[in-house]
Structure 1
Amino acid sequence: MSRSRDRRRRRPAYRRRPQEFYWLWIAATATYGVGDVVSTIAFLEYVPAIREANPVVAVALDSFGLGGLVLLKIAVYLVMLWISVAGARDGDALLYYFPPVLLTLVGTYLTASNVRLLWIA
């Protein structure tokens, strides 16, 4: 039996270990979705003299306001979720774990950076 056939017979990781899948994405949502968005909004509201450093986020904010920031975050989140689910279906552990772990790490860094800037401002 070939390896690809064996992968098709196994249930995706998110079905075999649903708690793991949920907790990976809860961590990503808490840090990247909530932490970074809330700290960015607080930073922009309380320190108006300083502008957003990320050019993509700055364009979204300038064009659509805070809704643009939220829509951009949701779009990135959904793409990463799609990659993770596709990786789970294909039996690819890297594609399954990498998106939520990356978003969690990036979200943690961005939230900490925003909080630090708020603290020193």
Structure 2
Amino acid sequence: MSRSRDQRRRRPAYRRRPQQFYWLWIAATATYGVGDIVSTIAFLEYAPTVQEANPVVALALDAFGLGGLVILKIAVYLIMLWISVHGAREGDAFLYYFPPVLLTVVGTYLTASNVRLLLIA
């Protein structure tokens, strides 16, 4: 039996272990999606002396306001979700786990950084 036929028969990881898949992405959503967006909005509104350090986010905020921030975050989130699903379908554990773990780590760091900036401003 060829390897490609064997891979087609094996169900993707998100179907074999749906709870794991959901919890990975719930953590990513809570930190990268909600935590970073809410803390960014808070420091932009309550600490006007603090400027957005990320040039891409600053450009989105300047061009489209807070909606630009949300659209940018959703776009990155959906791309990472697509990579994770693709990795699961291909049987690539790295591509399956890396996107939600990366977003969770980045989201945690950015949220903590924003809260720190808000507290010292």
- What range is the shorter-chain TM-score in? over 0.9
Structure 2 residue aligned with 1:73: 73
**Residue deviations 1:67-98 (CA, integer Å, cap 9, x gap):** 00000000000000000000000111000000
Structure 2 residue aligned with 1:84: 84
3-state DSSP of counterpart to 2:49: coil
3-state DSSP of counterpart to 2:57: helix
Tell me the TM-score normalised to structure 2 length.
Answer: 0.97
CA distance in 1, matches of 2:112, 2:73: 17
Matched, 1:44 2:20: no
The residue identity in structure 2 corresponding to 1:2 is S
Deviation at 1:2, TM superposition (A): 3.2
Unpaired runs of 5+ residues, structure 2, are none
Matched, 1:109 2:103: no
Q: Where does 1:9-48 land on structure 2 (aligned, <5 Å)? A: 9-48=9-48
3-state DSSP of counterpart to 1:53: coil
Report the number of matched residues.
121
CA distance in 1, matches of 2:44, 2:4: 49
Deviation at 1:6, TM superposition (A): 1.7
CA distance in 2, matches of 1:106, 1:4: 34
3-state DSSP of counterpart to 2:22: helix
3-state DSSP of counterpart to 2:62: helix
Deviation at 1:32, TM superposition (A): 0.1
The residue identity in structure 2 corresponding to 1:97 is Y
**Residue deviations 1:95-114 (CA, integer Å, cap 9, x gap):** 00000000000000000000
- What RMSD over aligned residues (CA atoms) do the two structures have, in Å? 0.7
The residue identity in structure 2 corresponding to 1:21 is F
Matched, 1:99 2:99: yes
Structure 1 residue aligned with 2:58: 58
